[in-house]
Structure 1
Amino acid sequence: MQLDRLRLQNFRSYAALDLRFNNGTVFITGDNANGKTSILEAIGMLSIGKSFRGTSDSSLTRFQSGDSWFVSGEYTLENQLYKLDVAYQKGHAKRFKVNGKSLSGRQDLIGRLISVIMSPDDLALVNGGPLTRRRFVDLLLSHQSKSYLNALMQYSRIVKQRNQILKQARKDRMQPRNLEYFDKQFISTAENLIAYRVEFLKKFGPILQNKIQAISSQQDQVVCRWDYADEREAESFSESVHKNLNRDVHSGYTTIGPHRHNLLFILNGNNIDEHGSQGQKRSLVLAMRMAEYYFLHMVTGIKPVLLVDDVIRELDQQRRTVFIDMLYDSNQAFFTSPDLDGIQWQSGRQRQVLQVRKEHEISQVHGND
């Protein structure tokens, strides 16, 4: 998989931009606040249909340039050329197209241009709440399986409807009506998601362990497991739902299920969230992103495009060595960095260096070797 071209209109600080890329490594250099990360953000938009920085669609519009923006990209997969378009207009849902054909929504975009995104905000995967880790797993599995993504969307709709019934029952101080119909769907869909996630950890866990050992020179051991809101969920979700009904009514919302699960990381026998050092957390985050890359390659047969936002300088020599191995394995990687000081690349690997200036002009400093 290789991204060949990127075009922007009124996106972030760019009025218009048209870039063509090589395979290998693409370095995007320039001073801070010049628009380097915006290029990665646009590529990420083509991959996951939203900003990986958590920015709202309206805030991505170029200042004083109207109420719309446009991102387009061309990529090659197995000698086939594909064109993706994402268009935003204020007051309307984003529009997605592939090869000129409209898609029904973001769910049909995900899984096409597969990417792994690394940014300074990744520490939130460890320091943040359960939602952050669930989203990590959900996006990863959605790249792998449309069935999982469809089940996840169906589950979210069911939980929303179920919560409305529970909220009304709490208000009326009576047993909820019509809940039996929703609970059949709720239980079936939840059990499907749980099965996907359990199977995911069976494959992802060993890869993560391999990468954390490589980073720590075989010193650290990591185990990842799901922490359920109710211990009975893993054995009999249906039974757990029925036994928690009164609590759900009292709370006015669904208190158990995949939307309440937490992914725990046990490093050397301790929960890293509570006992891990800052260095151990950084190592785990790097190992997670590397495991994400190798997992997706394993289950899809496709090497994801790497998007690396100014993180290589934060890595010590050991972490950097392991990270570079992943870089050399990839077909294409995009790096942002103020400059190239201290950054080395493999002899014979293609590289492209783009320099972003303050006026948002981009020049190619180096081409292929």
Structure 2
Amino acid sequence: MTLETLQIQSLRCIQNLQLSTHARWNWLIGANGAGKSTVLEALHILGTGQTWRHGPRHVLREGDAEYLLSARMSDHFLALRRRGEVREIRYDGESVHSAWELLDILPLQSLHDDNSHFVAGTADDRRRIMDWGIYYVDPYYGTVFREYRRALAQRNAWLKKPQGKSPWDSALAMAGEGIQQRRQDYLTRIEPYLQKLWTSWSGATEILSLHLQSGWKEGLALQESLQRDLGQDREMGYTHSGPHRANLVFRVRQRMALDILSRGQLRILGLAYRIAQLLLLREAGFALPTLLIDDFAAELDESARNWWVEQLNVLNVQVFAAVTAAGQIPAGVQGSHFYLAQGQLEKEIVI
């Protein structure tokens, strides 16, 4: 769903900002501290209910009691207000009770400092980004994922005061095996797209592959692994085995990508994976999300920036991207240029 307007009140350095957004490219231009990342973060909060940086108490503009974010999308209106620990979300005048609902109201794909290098980052980052894609192409994944998280929380609570046999192992194992199978199916589907994109960028026919480490001992069913680890789990007070410990591994020429690619190449590989997710979404007939890109030009030379823009133009997706100077924007890209300074809009140019 395409955003048409965005309003931000009392978020970080922004007191009151209103933007009439472009259907394709929205460039946020300004020096560090101008408010570019705050605009992207506002959209992220609207689409997930959560900030991508620190907790709610650090988001509020100094001296203000609450922040308010709102966006209009065609005939729909989404607003989120937060005052202390109290959050109110309304969509077309109706209350939204769960942040899970926001994932379908305003689908987003966010690329920011914490995850732009996810190929070389943490297993947590890679799982989150993988699960984001599965959620939108597998209608049952969200249900299975929530069942697993609920059973995991209950088992971990039981482990702190264990009595008798764990009553949660069967439910945890069933949901966990379901997550593993759905993840594996997803990677099988996305790998050809990633291979094609990597070849288009590198110009070489290097074989690229994705490998999923399940998060429990290879060769064992999850329930067997839970039983094997029960003593250790009781001692530590939490569950060691399961898809919450899974890891996505990228390989090039049968070697770990981390071992043979430069930092810039790893970032391109991560971008190619994100684009592959969008291509798979489009093939499955789903609406594409709005893209949020912080520090668009970071570690990318001109040819890499042009390649990235070319791929996104083919997808015809709405993008919000932050740059420190207009010269970092590839030539010929149509869209809106929003020049920001100290949390305020200085000027807007539509190209």
Q: Please report the TM-score for the alignment, with normalisation by the length of structure 1.
A: 0.86
1:156 positional shift: 1.5
Q: How does 1:131-146 map to 2 (within 5 A)?
A: 131-145=124-138
The 3 A distance-change label for structure 1 pair 313 and 239 is closer
The 3 A distance-change label for structure 1 pair 24 and 275 is closer
The 3 A distance-change label for structure 1 pair 90 and 300 is farther
1:65 positional shift: 1.1
Q: Map Cα deviations across residues 22-52 of structure 1 (whole Å, 9 max, x no partner).
A: 2121222122211011111111222222223
Q: How does 1:191-206 map to 2 (within 5 A)?
A: 191-206=177-192
Structure-1 residue corresponding to 2:72:
74
Structure-1 residue corresponding to 2:217:
230
Q: Distance in 1 between matches of 2:3 and 2:321?
A: 14
Q: Tell whether 2:70 aligns with 1:84.
A: no
Structure-2 residue corresponding to 1:316:
301
Say whether the 8 Å CA contact 1:212–1:221 is kept in structure 2: no
Which residue among 149, 153, 164 is the counterpart of 1:177?
164
Q: Distance in 1 between matches of 2:235 and 2:138?
A: 36
Q: Please report the TM-score for the alignment, with normalisation by the length of structure 2.
A: 0.90
What SS does the corresponding residue of 1:139 show, helix, strand or coil? helix
Deviating beyond 4 angstroms after TM superposition, the runs of 4 or more aligned structure 1 residues are none
Q: Distance in 1 between matches of 2:79 and 2:138?
A: 22
User: Given residue 100 of structure 2, which amino acid in structure 1 is its aligned partner?
Assistant: Q
Q: Map Cα deviations across residues 330-356 of structure 1 (whole Å, 9 max, x no partner).
A: 23222211221153344xx64211111
Q: Distance in 1 between matches of 2:114 and 2:236?
A: 33
Say whether the 8 Å CA contact 1:134–1:263 is kept in structure 2: yes
1:224 positional shift: 1.0
Structure-2 residue corresponding to 1:8:
8
1:247 positional shift: 4.1
What SS does the corresponding residue of 1:9 show, helix, strand or coil? strand
User: Given residue 292 of structure 1, which amino acid in structure 2 is its aligned partner?
Assistant: Q
Q: Tell whether 2:143 aligns with 1:150.
A: yes
Say whether the 8 Å CA contact 2:339–2:346 is kept in structure 1: yes
CA RMSD of aligned residues (A): 2.3
1:6 positional shift: 0.7
1:134 positional shift: 1.1
Q: Distance in 2 between matches of 1:146 and 1:11?
A: 34
User: Given residue 211 of structure 1, which amino acid in structure 2 is its aligned partner?
Assistant: L
Moved more, 250-259 or 8-17: 250-259
Q: Distance in 2 between matches of 1:220 and 1:3?
A: 39
1:250 positional shift: 4.5
1:219 positional shift: 4.6
Q: What 5-or-longer segments of structure 1 have no aligned partner?
A: 170-175
Say whether the 8 Å CA contact 2:115–2:125 is kept in structure 1: no
Structure-1 residue corresponding to 2:62:
63
Q: Tell whether 2:301 aligns with 1:332.
A: no
Q: What 5-or-longer segments of structure 2 have no aligned partner?
A: none
Say whether the 8 Å CA contact 2:297–2:328 is kept in structure 1: no
Structure-2 residue corresponding to 1:163:
156
The 3 A distance-change label for structure 1 pair 217 and 120 is farther
Structure-1 residue corresponding to 2:122:
129
Q: Distance in 1 between matches of 2:55 and 2:235?
A: 34
Q: Distance in 1 between matches of 2:171 and 2:188?
A: 26
Q: Distance in 1 between matches of 2:136 and 2:73?
A: 16
Say whether the 8 Å CA contact 1:119–1:308 is kept in structure 2: yes
Q: Tell whether 2:341 aligns with 1:357.
A: yes
Q: Distance in 2 between matches of 1:131 and 1:361?
A: 35
